[in-house]
Amino acid sequence: MSLDSKTPSGPLAEKWTRYRGTMNLVAPNNKRRIDIIVVGSGLAGASAAATLGELGYNVKCFTFHDSPRRAHSIAAQGGINAAKNYANDGDSVYRLFYDTIKGGDYRSRESNVYRLAEVSRNIIDQAVAQGVPFARDYGGLLDNRSFGGVQVSRTFYARGQTGQQLLLGAYQALSRQIALGTVEMYNRHEMLDLVLVDGKARGIVARNLVTGKLERFAAHCVVLGTGGYGNVFYLSTNAMMCNVTAAWRAVRRGAYMANPCFTQIHPTCIPQSGEYQSKLTLMSESLRNDGRVWVPKNPEDAKAIREGRKTGNDIPEEERDYFLERRYPAFGNLVPRDVASRAAKIACDEGLGVAPTGLAVFMDFSAAIERYGKSKANAMGLHNPGAEKIRELGEAVVSEKYGNLFEMYEKITGENPYKLPMKIYPAVHYTMGGLWVDYNLETNIPGLFAIGECNFSDHGANRLGASALMQGLADGYFVLPYTIGQFLSNEIRTPKFSPDAKEFVDTANETRQRLEGLMNVKGSQSVESFHRRLGKIMWEYCGMARNAEGLEKARKMIRELRDEFYKDVFIPGSLEEYNPELEKAHRVADFLELGELMIIDALNRNESCGGHFREEYQTEEGEALRNDEEYTYVAAWEYKGWAEEPALHKEELAFENVELKTRSYK
């Protein structure tokens, strides 16, 4: 089956405007009669629920957190892109579109990306009106900085807490709608299954995490804003509770999972320090505006640093290899994430790593501290300031820009990054793959929509920094509230659904059996131990570099691990109580299935593109080698059953406005 993206006709720059002006509407008196379920309360979910509530729909919003404000969007640090061109440096909607397509290594859909770039400007306006305290200059206007893979400054930021401030804006808009009664909020409810009636998505089964009871909810349609699946790797920068269950349960009901092997490994995270480690912490990409990434040229120096006999400060300038600046002079330290991550891995593979584990490179701020210090001294009219004064002034400037990140680094590592270069290493951060959606953000199941990181649509094989916040809010505030009308305009005569109907009861019974099955294994190993082992397999064989042999091996290992899980997992407590171990068990069970699909997808894609680096397909210089002839498509996978091979459906990608080129940041 070929997939219809439902991309409207017409020139790229006019598609969205024309479509929006001619699409079907639901009249206000009918909106009141229509129920919508939104699952997730992060940037995408909260902004969608709030906006749909404002429009007059009856919205039910679900989160497994104790409050919608806890969603993991809150942890995004660096910023949000928008084609405002406030910096007057040549930015435009087209340029943001082009950078995103190129950054994604030509594996995303042109029409969706162009629309994203268009509405990016509205997001900033909306956020400022909500009171999001973006950084400003002395004239009181908004300030911008640069992120990887671009040559303009289009990133708006709120210190190192941009995600927090944007999420609080959306949370407050949502809170207002909750108070007005247009949105009913269900905290501590986790979606465990999707209910279909006559092939359309009409509701969900959720577990009340406090009582442990299963509850059924009905609506005219269901929107998933449930985030990404990076936690399949166990160690990632995702929050501990991030999971794939809502999306995976939709896949089990027939939704297609697109490009699941496209995962983003973020280059600048705090390296792992031990086996007990539960998660990895990101150091924002914005740091690469001022941090220079390097390793010692001499393996002996690297060894001395690993063994604690030397520090980064002991290595003289001429003995350092600023490898990103050397390999990619045009973009330097601000190459895209996939490129920077691979370069760091190569340096460490060559024995130049600087942490005791051998897995870390330096990110050094001394040059920036000196540069800012000198410029500050000039501004203050200080003549001949000493080196110490310059350092002091420079550290103050750096602290104003990145203070909270430096503090976080020191808390975790116990080292002062103002005095010693930071040690960083790549870690799983984001998943570009996700539920397949068309231009309306609707999956192949009618009435089931997916927004934000949960869908696959905008970032191709690699996401650019500061674009996740942009996409989540674009989908929730400015795209879905329009496109959902294309489905709902045909539903105005559909009466309300009863959660007591057979389909709902049957689905809830199946969910109950699944949970009881897990509880009844009564084995001997903890859920956590299985998750850790799954993560190791995924990282080793389906991480920064992959090859066919390793992937085949990993597939077998995951199947064995899954069998062992269902034979020997132990979950304490009972079904109908507050039981975090049972919550985790269900999530890990779904990760064990998703992991295999990621491997199947990685095996199928015999090329390297973006975050998907197949070792068999690389240039002589070690850069990714795409195969446009055979793989310029979205791989959308249909679940066929526990022991069956999934079916591949292809959406061919047409590039009518951008020429497919080898991505170069040299």
Partner 1 sequence: MKLTLKIWRQKAPNAKGRFETYQVEANPHMSFLEMLDVLNEELIAKKEEPVVFEHDCREGICGTCSMVINGEPHGPMAGTTTCQLHMRHFRDGETIVIEPFRASAFPVMKDLAVDRSSMDRIIQAGGYISVNTGAAQDANAIPVDKDTAAHSFDAAACIGCGACIAACPNASAMLFVSAKVAHLALLPQGKVEAKRRAQAMVKQMDLEGFGMCSNITACEAECPKGISVENIARLNREYLSSALGSETVA
3-state secondary structure (DSSP) of residue 221: strand
Among 30, 122, 366, 657, binds partner 1 (CB under 8 A): 122
Reply yes or no on whether 121 is catalytic.
Answer: no
| Tokens representing residue 588 in the block | 């890990």
Among 44, 127, 201, 305, binds partner 1 (CB under 8 A): 127
Task: Identify the burial level of 666 via C-beta atoms within 10 angstroms of its C-beta, where 0-12 means exposed, 13-18 middle and 19 or more buried.
Answer: exposed
The answer to whether residue 411 forms part of the interface with partner 1 (CB under 8 A) is yes
Among 24, 89, 133, 378, binds partner 1 (CB under 8 A): 133
- Rounded CA separation 271/280 (Å): 7
Torsion of CA 287, 334, 464, 405, to 10 degrees: -10
Phi, psi of 62 (to 5 degrees): -120, 140
Name which of 168 and 609 has its Cβ closer to partner 1. 168
Name which of 475 and 623 has its Cβ closer to partner 1. 475
| Size of residue set near partner 1 by CB under 8 A | 80
The answer to whether residue 386 forms part of the interface with partner 1 (CB under 8 A) is no
Name which of 251 and 527 has its Cβ closer to partner 1. 527
Footprint of partner 1 on 268-327 (CB under 8 A): 273-274, 276-279, 281-282
Name which of 46 and 361 has its Cβ closer to partner 1. 46
Footprint of partner 1 on 166-195 (CB under 8 A): 168, 171-173, 175-176, 178-179, 185, 187
Among 563, 3, 593, smallest CA distance to 252 is for: 593
Among 94, 98, 418, 570, binds partner 1 (CB under 8 A): 570
Find out whether 491 and 34 touch, Cβ atoms under 8 Å: yes
User: How many angstroms separate the Cα of 654 from the Cα of each of 114, 256, 357, 605, 633?
Assistant: 14, 20, 45, 18, 9
Catalytic residue among 69, 216, 288, 337: 337
Q: How far is the CB of 275 from partner 1 (least distance, A)?
A: 10
Q: What is the 3-state secondary structure (H, E, C) of 428-472?
A: EEEECCEECCCCCCECCCCCEEECHHHECCCCCCCCCCCCHHHHH
Name which of 452 and 460 has its Cβ closer to partner 1. 452
Q: Which part of the chain contacts partner 1 (CB under 8 A), choosing from 147-155, 233-241, 298-306, 460-468?
A: 233-241
Amino acid at 379: A
Pairing of strands 434-435, 214-218: unpaired
The answer to whether residue 576 forms part of the interface with partner 1 (CB under 8 A) is no
Footprint of partner 1 on 515-534 (CB under 8 A): 526, 528-529
- Rounded CA separation 615/522 (Å): 41
The answer to whether residue 567 forms part of the interface with partner 1 (CB under 8 A) is no
Among 178, 188, 200, smallest CA distance to 59 is for: 178
The answer to whether residue 92 forms part of the interface with partner 1 (CB under 8 A) is no
Q: How far is the CB of 66 from partner 1 (least distance, A)?
A: 6
- In this structure, the number of other CB atoms found within 10 A of the CB of residue 166 comes to 30
Q: How far is the CB of 633 from partner 1 (least distance, A)?
A: 34
The answer to whether residue 612 forms part of the interface with partner 1 (CB under 8 A) is no
| Tokens representing residue 297 in the block | 């040229």
Q: How far is the CB of 507 from partner 1 (least distance, A)?
A: 28
Would you say the C-alpha torsion 422, 237, 239, 37 has a positive or negative sign?
positive
Name which of 158 and 347 has its Cβ closer to partner 1. 158
Among 15, 102, 159, 614, binds partner 1 (CB under 8 A): 159
Footprint of partner 1 on 412-471 (CB under 8 A): 412, 414
The answer to whether residue 399 forms part of the interface with partner 1 (CB under 8 A) is no
3-state secondary structure (DSSP) of residue 663: coil
| Tokens representing residue 535 in the block | 């993560």
Name which of 173 and 390 has its Cβ closer to partner 1. 173
| Tokens representing residue 124 in the block | 């900033």
Among 47, 81, 155, 608, binds partner 1 (CB under 8 A): 47
- Catalytic annotation, residues: 337
